[in-house]
């Protein structure tokens, strides 16, 4: 890549300003200008770096509760920011591939460079909003302005991929749903890697077994390189199957079947509402069902998501034999692999709120989050669905 390919600071600032304030005109200019994937990702690397530095600054801040203060582990903050940076860039690249793959399904034209333009430049608002994380207490709320990126994507897709304007809403919706899947999986894996690195000093103490192809970490965790490679090959084969069709193509389960698995009550709380949705095009799709349960001030939201073909990427997580337990000043965060399933849990004793998620059959995500309830209630909610029953859906 030549120096001439790199945008000047003035050009980068002007591009970011224009895409935010004058998106339609700027998308017209972006669609018409010559570019390469490398030149586009220089822009991405700089803006993602700004968000990563803000994340690092936030991670080094002390957190105070009344008279007690907690100082985060600086090693974890650094590793977490680096992993976040890498995963963000990788995730946006995958979203670009998704945009390209879906183009013809929405009346557009396949063009990988144009798809990368749509993915990268629409992410401008999300990256810049990431700096708000450094604002104490309300930073997370201010960062919601990053959702403006969805509108930028909506405006940009017809111009970059030449899809009809009337198809923009559907095109955007499917891309956003699949992007969420990509970043949920990427975030889970990134969080696991960062935690293991901080707890074990993996860079210094990790050892590679040439016989088993396994990386061992000082905290008892390990990474099966052979399983990771096999999962990557599986994901590649699945992408081809989705594009070409045939018996190996994976179709998302009807969301009504997922909804039928949601119980009428959990942990003594009655179901107050339930919904089921699905989206897909050009061979890719996902389905979801969720319900809310309320008992006084206690609330549990229970979700089942079928990642369908995208679940082949979740298989990579099974290569990690992870056992981590991070204690915070008011609760804990834990990642583990149980019976081949990736399990994550997080709980705050002060607010009595938490999350419990299980990835089943490298395809289905069962998640319970709640307020005013204990972790046992969240685990019971997931158990009420029955992970075995959910896994059985993969076989028709």
- Distance, in Å, from the CA atom of 386 to the CA atom of 396, rounded to the nearest integer, reads 16
Q: Please give the pLDDT value at position 71.
A: 56
CATH code of the domain in which 298 resides? 3.40.1000
Q: Look at the chain and report how many structural domains it folds into.
A: 2
Across the range 161-180, mean pLDDT stands at: 80
Residue 207 pLDDT class (50, 70, 90 cuts):
very low
Spell 21-38 as b/e; 16+ CB within 10 A means b: eebeebbeebbeeeeeee
Q: What percent of the chain has pLDDT over 90?
A: 20
Most confident of 68-77, 186-195, 369-378: 369-378
| 187 and 212 belong to one structural domain | no
| 193 and 213 belong to one structural domain | no
Stretch among 69-83, 93-107, 136-150, 195-209 having the lowest mean pLDDT:
195-209
State which residues form the domain around 140: 3-204
The yes-or-no verdict on residue 292 having pLDDT over 90 is: yes
- Distance, in Å, from the CA atom of 109 to the CA atom of 103, rounded to the nearest integer, reads 6
Q: Please give the pLDDT value at position 248.
A: 63
213 vs 363 pLDDT, higher one: 363
Q: Does the reported pTM lie above 0.75?
A: no
- Distance, in Å, from the CA atom of 221 to the CA atom of 104, rounded to the nearest integer, reads 43
| 174 and 220 belong to one structural domain | no
The yes-or-no verdict on residue 395 having pLDDT over 60 is: yes
Stretch among 21-30, 39-48, 131-140, 285-294 having the lowest mean pLDDT:
131-140
The residue from 189, 204, 219 where one domain ends is 204
Q: Please give the pLDDT value at position 275.
A: 87
| 328 and 191 belong to one structural domain | no
| 46 and 129 belong to one structural domain | yes
| 195 and 294 belong to one structural domain | no
- Distance, in Å, from the CA atom of 202 to the CA atom of 217, rounded to the nearest integer, reads 6
Q: Please give the pLDDT value at position 190.
A: 54
| 98 and 178 belong to one structural domain | yes
Q: 74-102 and 112-122 helices cross at what angle (nearest 10)?
A: 140
Q: Please give the pLDDT value at position 230.
A: 63
Q: Kindly report the average pLDDT of the chain as a whole number.
A: 74
Q: Please give the pLDDT value at position 283.
A: 47
- Distance, in Å, from the CA atom of 376 to the CA atom of 360, rounded to the nearest integer, reads 19
| 212 and 200 belong to one structural domain | no
| 197 and 242 belong to one structural domain | no
The residue from 138, 171, 204 where one domain ends is 204
Bridge partners of 320? 223
The yes-or-no verdict on residue 48 having pLDDT over 90 is: no
| 349 and 369 belong to one structural domain | yes
Q: Please give the pLDDT value at position 251.
A: 74
User: If residue 213 lies in a helix (H) or strand (E), which one and from where to where?
Assistant: none
Residue 102 pLDDT class (50, 70, 90 cuts):
confident
17 vs 314 pLDDT, higher one: 17
Q: Is 100 helix (H, G, I), strand (E, B) or coil?
A: helix
Q: Please give the pLDDT value at position 126.
A: 83
Q: Please give the pLDDT value at position 79.
A: 65
The yes-or-no verdict on residue 27 having pLDDT over 50 is: yes
Closest CA to 30 of 43, 38, 42, 19: 19
Most confident of 95-109, 141-155, 279-293: 95-109
The yes-or-no verdict on residue 114 having pLDDT over 90 is: yes
226 vs 274 pLDDT, higher one: 274
| 224 and 146 belong to one structural domain | no
The residue from 162, 184, 204 where one domain ends is 204
Most confident of 15-24, 225-234, 339-348: 15-24
| 342 and 276 belong to one structural domain | yes
Across the range 232-255, mean pLDDT stands at: 64
The yes-or-no verdict on residue 209 having pLDDT over 70 is: no
Closest CA to 321 of 183, 196, 185, 181: 196
* The token pair that represents 263 in the structure block: 């119980």
């Amino acid at each position: 890549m030549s120096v001439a390919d790199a945008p000047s600071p003035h050009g980068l600032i002007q591009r970011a300003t224009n895409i935010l304030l004058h998106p339609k005109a700027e998308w017209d200019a972006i669609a018409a200008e010559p570019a390469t994937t490398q030149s586009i990702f220089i822009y991405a690397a700089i803006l993602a770096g700004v968000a990563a530095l803000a994340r690092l600054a936030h991670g080094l801040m002390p957190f105070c509760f009344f008279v007690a203060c907690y100082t985060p582990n600086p090693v974890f903050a650094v590793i977490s920011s680096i992993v976040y940076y890498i995963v963000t860039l990788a995730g946006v690249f995958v979203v670009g591939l998704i945009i390209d793959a879906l183009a013809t399904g929405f009346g557009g034209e396949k063009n990988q460079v144009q798809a990368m333009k749509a993915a990268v430049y629409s992410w401008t608002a999300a990256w810049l909003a990431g700096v708000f994380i450094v604002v104490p207490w309300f930073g997370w709320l201010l960062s919601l302005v990053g959702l403006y990126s969805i509108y930028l994507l909506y405006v940009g897709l017809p111009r970059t991929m030449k899809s009809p304007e009337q198809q923009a809403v559907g095109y955007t919706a499917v891309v956003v749903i699949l992007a969420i899947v990509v970043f949920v999986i990427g975030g889970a894996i990134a969080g696991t890697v960062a935690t293991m690195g901080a707890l074990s000093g993996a860079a210094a103490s990790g050892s590679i077994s040439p016989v088993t192809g396994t990386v061992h970490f000082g905290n008892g965790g390990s990474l099966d390189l052979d399983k990771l490679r096999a999962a990557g090959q599986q994901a590649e084969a699945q992408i081809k199957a989705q594009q070409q069709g045939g018996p190996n193509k994976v179709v998302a389960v009807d969301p009504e079947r997922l909804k039928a698995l949601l119980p009428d009550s959990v942990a003594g709380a009655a179901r107050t509402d339930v919904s089921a949705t699905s989206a897909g095009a050009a061979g890719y799709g996902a389905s979801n069902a969720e319900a809310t349960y309320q008992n006084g001030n206690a609330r549990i939201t229970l979700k089942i998501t079928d990642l369908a073909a995208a679940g082949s990427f979740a298989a990579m997580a099974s290569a990690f034999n992870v056992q981590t337990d991070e204690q915070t000043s008011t609760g804990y965060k834990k990642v583990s692999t149980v019976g081949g399933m990736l399990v994550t849990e997080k709980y705050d004793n002060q607010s009595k709120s938490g999350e419990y998620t299980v990835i089943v059959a490298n395809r289905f995500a069962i998640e319970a989050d709640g307020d005013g309830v204990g972790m046992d209630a969240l685990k019971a909610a997931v158990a009420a669905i029955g992970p075995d029953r959910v896994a059985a859906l993969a076989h028709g």
